[in-house]
Structure 1
Amino acid sequence: MALFFLVPLCTALITGYFVKQSTDEIAYIAGVFGFICFILSLVLAPWQIQLLLLIVVLLGTNRLLSKQ
């Protein structure tokens, strides 16, 4: 399994950390960049990880909807 999808994911996590620490306007630009990197890492992730995330989202959604 290729792990090159971890590069944008780590970039997104580091950017998110800097956004939390800063209150400047550059933090908003960095936040957008981090969000794009996060989406890119999900697109580049292997199908096994994408399937696992899909199952987690579906189970989480069912549990949240059944509580109401």
Structure 2
Amino acid sequence: MPLFFLIPLFTGLATGYLSKKCNDEVAYLIGLFTIICLVLSLVLAPWQIQLVLLILIIISTNRLLR
């Protein structure tokens, strides 16, 4: 299983951490970059990980809707 999806994931997490330290408009740009990196890592993730995430989301939304 290739782990290429971890590169944008860790980049996004690192930039998200940095955006919490900034108080300027730069924080908004860094936040946007973080969201793009996290979406990219989900797209690049193997189907097994995507399936597990989908199952977790379905279970959690069913519990919240009750």
> Mind listing any 5+ residue stretches in structure 1 that lack a counterpart?
none
- The residue number in structure 2 matching 1:19 is 19
Q: 1:20 and 1:11 mapped to 2: Cα distance?
A: 15
Give the root-mean-square deviation of aligned CA atoms: 0.5
- The residue number in structure 1 matching 2:41 is 41
Q: Which consecutive segments of 4 or more residues in structure 1 shift more than 4 A? A: none
> Mind listing any 5+ residue stretches in structure 2 that lack a counterpart?
none
SS at match of 2:38: helix
Cα offset for 1:21? 1.1
Cα offset for 1:56? 0.3
- The residue number in structure 2 matching 1:8 is 8
**Structure 1 length as normaliser, TM-score?**
0.95
User: What does the per-residue CA deviation read over 1:15-36, in whole Å, with 9 as the maximum and x for residues that have no partner?
Assistant: 1101111111111001001100
**Structure 2 length as normaliser, TM-score?**
0.97
Q: State the identity %.
A: 62
